[in-house]
Amino acid sequence: MAWTRNVLRVNLSAGTCTPEPLNMTWAQDYLGQRGLATKYFVSEVDPKVDPFAPENELIFVTGPLTGTMASTGGRYSVVTKGPLTGAIACSNSGGYFGAELKFAGWDMLIFEGASPKPVYLLLIDGKAELVDAGSLWGKTVWETEEEIKKVHQDPQIRVAAIGRAGEIGVLYAGIVNDLHRAAGRSGVGAVMGSKNLKAVAVRGTRTDSYPLANPKAFLAATEAAKKVLAANGVTGQGLPTYGTQVLMNVINELGALPTRNHRDIQFEGAGDISGEAMHRKRPTDGKANLVTNGACFGCTIACGRISRMDPGHFTVKDKPQYQGASGGVEYEAAWALGAANGVNDLEALTYANFLCNEHGFDPISFGATVGAAMELYDLGILTKDEVGFELPFGSTEAMVKLAELTARGEGFGKEIGMGSRRLCAKYGRPDLSMTVKGQEFPAYDGRGLQGMGLAYATSNRGACHLRGYMVSPEVLGIPVKMDPQATEGKAAMLKAFQDLTAVVDSAGICLFTTFAWGLADIQPQIQAACEGDWSPERLLLVGERIWNMEREFNLAAGLTKKDDCLPPRLMKEEAKTGPQKGAVSKLDVMLPEYYEVRGWTAEGVPTAGTRARLGV
């Protein structure tokens, strides 16, 4: 059950589905999921390709631990060239879809070309067919999933779909599976839309088992690792109780919560939109926003938020479809929809988050872009006439309205759908775009957390918290406590995090396990599942190889050292309040050191020695 060793190549232009054996040599070098799909991608696609051209590929991929009893073993990734960034895009999702893909017998689906008309891919056990999606085009993610399950009369079919946002090319459109789990970032959904691919529907009932290298050892290793998760304060208590939202108050108090397009570094309304607030009974209906926590496939942490809105809230009053429970705000979404634009109405954030899931777009990039638009409005660069309504910081109504417009590609929503970099450039203030490589920051300020600043600047897919989570050492003390303002040792620590993260993202498990798991917990699970020698040293080498492979693709795509940067605001404007008051990013100190520990030239290019060592 490690690898199924089956790849499905779908040529959407020709309408063909062709199975092929997995390249096991590559599997030994890149493990699976992120690493393996990226290897296929960079081997088959011209780095200069227009992300929306049929020549771009879109790859859905599982890892060797996907669909196993390893805790959190349900992840899949989508790899393509991202339209938001022009860089390699790899977006990771949980839910149940990835495991089902494995059960249906596939490690990987490679989509080539573009379909002349809307289709969805139906995978039932070993069978694959492209089905006309004419009647689904224009439908929401939620409607699409329901309709596919209904037509095929099987509620157990798992669906990953794009909504209207992906169809119309919102540059940060995501792919949503199981109604509220998303391969959310970098616009992978827009690429899917450009290929006229509405959804992938999958059901696997086959008994054929793909052997684990050592089943007994695997069960023992996964069992032991689950105990580590249960015993850990973050994965055993914090995340199940508060989800990632456990961070809202923590990061705010630390003075690293970007607020109002990073003008501020603390948000006075943080408490109103925090994990604690989600537990509080609303005065209006006496119920809490949070209904329960929910798990993704195989996950023994269960950090997922399942929320139900106040049915009397102005956003959903006459809309019963939003009054049931669904995926609530995670920390990043709560930050982007809330703090990033100064909105402190938890119910409104929940509604906007529902819209992101329903229509398939990334709440981080959306919320951050709204924050940028609000600043443009605040400065008088954007006017009410252009927007169609007032757009001051803190306007719940405006944020919600923009979510609705962006989902449908109407009015000023079209501008918001381009993302912050293009929006700010269009209005002559590129400096106000809080992005790296065109992708919006998530919920940590690079001034408050120096290591996170470096992580953002060097992330291969643009600003991202999931490529090297320096919050762990800088805030949580995992694996060691580091001073948020220090620069010393950050480059080496970040490299270690980036390489380990690449391994985790290639294995089929969730990055959140690394709050509790070190390589010593992960390695025995991979070793027992996968044939071959997977020593800790080799795994880290695989991680480093993946990182460098992504870097090489980006360089070949035309990105340079200049793209490893942070916006001038983070470099020059001092943090105004809180423990990090006065701080600016010290990226210029850390970056050269980072290149050095990576074995790259001063221009950020892997040296011949590094290339040879890694076999890239």
Partner 1 sequence: MQKSLHLDPNKCTGCLQCEMACAWEKYETFTIAKSRIKVFTFHHEGRFVPYTCTQCDEAWCLIACPVDAIKLDPVTGAKIVLEPTCVGCKVCTIACPFGTINYVAQTGKVQKCDLCDGDPACAKACPTGAITYVDADWTGLGKMRAWAGKTDTTAATA
Partner 2 sequence: MRHVIIGSGPAGVIAAETLRKADPAAEITVLCGEGEPPYARMAIPYLLKGDIDEAGTFIRKDQDHYGRMRIGLVEGRALAVDTAARVVDLGDGPGLPWDRLLVATGSRPSREKIPGIDLPGVRTCWTLEDARALLAGIRPGTRVVQMGAGFVGCIIMEGLLARGADLTILVRSGYMVRRMMNPTASGLIRRWCESKGVKILTRTQPLALSANGGALKVDLGEGRSLDADLYLSVVGVDPNLEFLAGSGVEIGQGVVVDANLQSSVPGVYAAGDVAESPDVVTGKRQLNAIQPNAAEQGRTAALNMAGHPTRFKGSFVFNVLTTLGLAASSFGEWQGVPGGESTEVLDESRFRYLNLQFDGDRLVGANCVGFGDHVGAFRGLIEGRRRLGAWKRRLMDDPARVMQAYVETAVPACGAG
Site string for partner 2, 437-456 (x = CB under 8 A): --------------------
How large is the C-alpha radius of gyration of the chain? 22
Tell me the site size for partner 2, rule CB under 8 A: 10
3-class DSSP state for residue 292? strand
Q: Torsions phi, psi of 73, nearest 5?
A: -75, 65
Beta carbon of residue 463, minimum distance to partner 2 (angstroms, whole number): 40
607, 613, 614, 616 alpha-carbon torsion, rounded to 10°: 60
- Segment interacting with partner 1 (CB under 8 A) among 77-85, 114-122, 200-208, 389-397: 200-208
150 binding partner (options partner 1, partner 2, none; Cβ < 5 to 8 Å by kind): partner 2
67 is a contact residue toward partner 1 (CB under 8 A): yes
* 578: region left, alpha or beta (phi > 0 left; psi from -120 to 50 alpha): left
Q: Which of 18, 156, 577, 607 binds partner 1 (CB under 8 A)?
A: 156
Q: Torsions phi, psi of 589, nearest 5?
A: -80, -40
Q: With contact defined as beta carbons under 8 Å apart, do 478 and 36 qualify?
A: no
297 is a contact residue toward partner 1 (CB under 8 A): yes
Distance CA 88, CA 83 (A): 9
Q: With contact defined as beta carbons under 8 Å apart, do 71 and 226 qualify?
A: yes
Between 308 and 461, CB nearer to partner 2: 308
Q: Which of 19, 324, 582, 615 binds partner 1 (CB under 8 A)?
A: 324
Distance CA 363, CA 339 (A): 12
Q: Torsions phi, psi of 190, nearest 5?
A: -70, -35
Tell me the site size for partner 1, rule CB under 8 A: 40
324 binding partner (options partner 2, partner 1, none; Cβ < 5 to 8 Å by kind): partner 1
Q: Which of 124, 151, 217, 302 binds partner 1 (CB under 8 A)?
A: 302
Considering only residues 122-181, where is the footprint of partner 2 by CB under 8 A? Answer: 124, 146, 149-156
215 binding partner (options partner 2, partner 1, none; Cβ < 5 to 8 Å by kind): partner 1
Considering only residues 81-120, where is the footprint of partner 1 by CB under 8 A? Answer: 96, 99, 103
152 binding partner (options partner 2, partner 1, none; Cβ < 5 to 8 Å by kind): partner 2
288 is a contact residue toward partner 1 (CB under 8 A): no
- 327: part of which helix (H) or strand (E)? strand 326-327
Between 142 and 595, CB nearer to partner 2: 142
User: What are the structure tokens assigned to 451, written together?
Assistant: 């290591």
Nearest by Cα to 433 from 569, 285, 603, 251: 569
CA distances from 58 to 19, 70, 140, 195, 574 (A): 16, 27, 21, 9, 41
Q: Label the pairing between strands 58-62 and 76-81.
A: antiparallel
178, 182, 188, 189 alpha-carbon torsion, rounded to 10°: 50
Between 238 and 294, CB nearer to partner 1: 294
Q: Which of 13, 18, 43, 205 binds partner 1 (CB under 8 A)?
A: 205
Q: Which of 9, 81, 185, 226 binds partner 1 (CB under 8 A)?
A: 226
Q: Torsions phi, psi of 18, nearest 5?
A: -125, 115
- Segment interacting with partner 1 (CB under 8 A) among 305-313, 517-525, 588-596, 606-614: 305-313
295 is a contact residue toward partner 1 (CB under 8 A): yes
Distance CA 191, CA 51 (A): 7
287 is a contact residue toward partner 2 (CB under 8 A): no
Q: Which residues bind partner 2 (CB under 8 A)?
A: 124, 146, 149-156
Report the interface residues with partner 1, using CB under 8 A.
1, 67-69, 71, 96, 99, 103, 156, 179, 203-209, 215, 219, 226, 230, 240, 291-300, 302, 304, 306-308, 324-326
